[in-house]
Structure 1
């Protein structure tokens, strides 16, 4: 579908909403050609992608790869602007307050839902942004240190029930993170509890697991793949609904009898809530094209990422769903902000 066809659909939707008001109907028809020219020319100046985390991590890397692909497609420069701080809320706030023209984008993910679920005091509401498209999904894998002597999920569950609170689980990026919520949700599903140890990032958590100081973690597949393949970590299960292509021998939790435990980290593109539907549709069209290109997808898929473009409406639904699930986890686990 090209941009003209996208515009034709959304323009018709606008006209239909006007009903039988003749003057408004005529005005809408008159506006469509001008809007078509405006959208076809988009963007005519540099586009800014705000990344609300520090440079160097996966979220930053994915945003920069997307920016490179869009710059080739659009020709105007696409600028990646890292605005870290306050659990990503500083960067989100800048996008919320930007003009709703499609020239300021937010590259963010599940942290939007986590922040809302935890009840953090934020300078915006989760409804102040609207989705454009999801970009990637990065499911988690339950890994243990080899020295623990556990090789199957059933053995892990038996150990947890035999030694309640003694098995230690690393929490990459700390208390109140999606990894923390994943561990708590799994414990709720299994009727167990673990000794959860927060870390400032994935690297120090991995070092302690590999060094035998912590027993395991639920961690992104893309971060664990190399150590699993090198047999430095023992994988027990993945949190996706289907097996990972990079870890095909590792079963899903559904296969292991835990059907209601699905946790996925994801990233997506958002814009201010007032951004017109036509602009969102064109952004979705162009970004989806970049996501599906082999240049973008191949290196990420090799690490275990799943390229997962979506409709704008679907991304909004994903955020709402995750907020609801995470709020239940927070309430049941009694998680409070530190």
Structure 2
């Protein structure tokens, strides 16, 4: 089987970096993108200067100011971020059409048909810096799991390559908490069982024990801690849905804050749908409680639309069915049942 070549591109503090680029007075200062504390806002992202103080995404704005009294809060400009995301997508298309967009600032590229993924990653980073005056970090490896882990290693403006021959040694040192899908509850279980904290520690467990300890996720985790991940890069052109999700570092019990986060997730997926000239009929809310029970709630309309406010109102209604007292560890929003705008008139 041919070796796959996967690149994970992650823009560095994307929203904050855009604002610092466009406003020189913000450069070198701790800034955060988010809504005001009086609106019970949450932080979408923070500059690296702010992260030194512990300011990070999903933190309440009030808590962010408690951690950093000199923090500068900037209102998000999603129209601008979406426009830049479109430019990023155009850059990626110079090398491949197999692009899976995870968020406005993050994507996977399958460049298996090229000779060197490492050279391409360097070229993409240079093109982004030259054209957009922004920096990105890149991870290069044989699958999505390893590429994503690698992209975090040399941030910001870094690159990390995990070649096929070093995968087994590389993954042993990776903390389990850095594995995709592992949240606070999984780590609590691992610590309570005294299993250690690295992928190497969990490799001693047979598959049957992983499933016993971690349920259905145990099978995935069994392979992930060995650096094995067969998930394909889903080309956006072939996507049957567009979604995003967030695993919280601390379980969520604040319904208003959760609503704010879910609304921002909806903004992301709506913008990605609009980028692709799509309209859709269905919006789905995904919630995973701290006990790993997962529920989804969907609403389908009789017509296609791309209006944010329409789907935001529906998300608000779906959210009323959520029992926040159980503690929410993950939320996600997905849109589906697409039609291309250019094809829409053929439906009638």
* Structure 2 length-normalised TM: 0.25
Higher normalized contact order (CA 8 Å, seq sep 6+, divided by chain length): 1
Q: Going by fraction, where is strand more abundant, 1 or 2?
A: 2
- In terms of Rg, which structure is larger? 1
